[in-house]
Copies of this chain bind each other. A is one copy, B any other.
């Protein structure tokens, strides 16, 4: 689960894709003060690397809630990515809570401390108590590099903790890649059509029945607006089923009087 290099006898694309959950930790998202910008980035990142995102949660900076949620999610998903709560202040409770979830003590990580000491010294600043806090991780955790502001994220078991500030979270993602399970992303084909959703609904339900390996989503472009456009998105890891389901969608939309357009996405 934690290796990116498949052994020679592992197929490049596993028939059972690895699953992921995202846990956003922060009072400021729940209060409406701050608009989350990390979920969409992580959803795309995980898909690109072949993981199926099965759930996202947003919870407050509350130790027991974080601990219990991490324990619930890490039992259900192959990988859990947390964002937020690893800064220097009292309301940053993610590292301590994840340590509790894994029944590990919270320790100062020597390597993190040394990197931060060098960083702050070079800026003529002290490594004060708040900054030292950002070098604490659950015992046994590996560091995730932070190329922007040095204070690292970490990985323990199948749980990865990243910063909540979007620019820093994104800069840390490079350091997450080596820990991702190997997997190929599913392929999606969009059949765009000019009929209302309700007119194609029965046809889509039939295609959905015919091709169990294909997921079919129907996404209207602003149903309240004047432009009639529905994107039928077919997704699968089975190329043959996907192609045939796509052909069936084109045929059925044409038979209903529409003009399907196939877009690769």
Contacts and interface: CB of A to CB of B under 8 A. Distances in A.
A211 to B, nearest CB: 12
Interface string A147-177: 0110000000000000001011001000000
A7 interface: no
A213 interface: no
Nearest to A206: B90
Interface in A71-97: 87-91
Contacts of A201: 88-90, 128-130, 133
Given A40-B32, A219-B28, A130 B202 contact: yes
Contacts of A125: 196
Given A89-B201, A197-B130, A216-B90, A36 B40 contact: yes
Contact of A149 (B34, B148, B171, B223): B223
Helix, strand, loop or mixed for chain A's interface? mixed
Given A198-B88, A208-B90, A148 B217 contact: no
Given A28-B219, A56-B30, A224-B148, A204 B90 contact: yes
Contacts of A215: 27
A87 B224 contact: no
A197 B87 contact: yes
Interface in A215-237: 215-220, 222-224, 233, 235
A128 B235 contact: no
Copies in the complex: 2
Contacts of A233: 28, 33
A55 interface: yes
A39 B235 CA distance: 26
**Residue of A30, A47, A167 with highest tally of chain B CB at under 10 A:** A30
A180 interface: no
A131 interface: yes
B35 A53 contact: no
A52 B43 CA distance: 27
Nearest to A52: B30
A216 to B, nearest CB: 7
A199 B45 CA distance: 34
A184 interface: no
A31 interface: yes
A41 to B, nearest CB: 8
A225 to B, nearest CB: 8
A130 B46 CA distance: 33
A31 B53 contact: yes
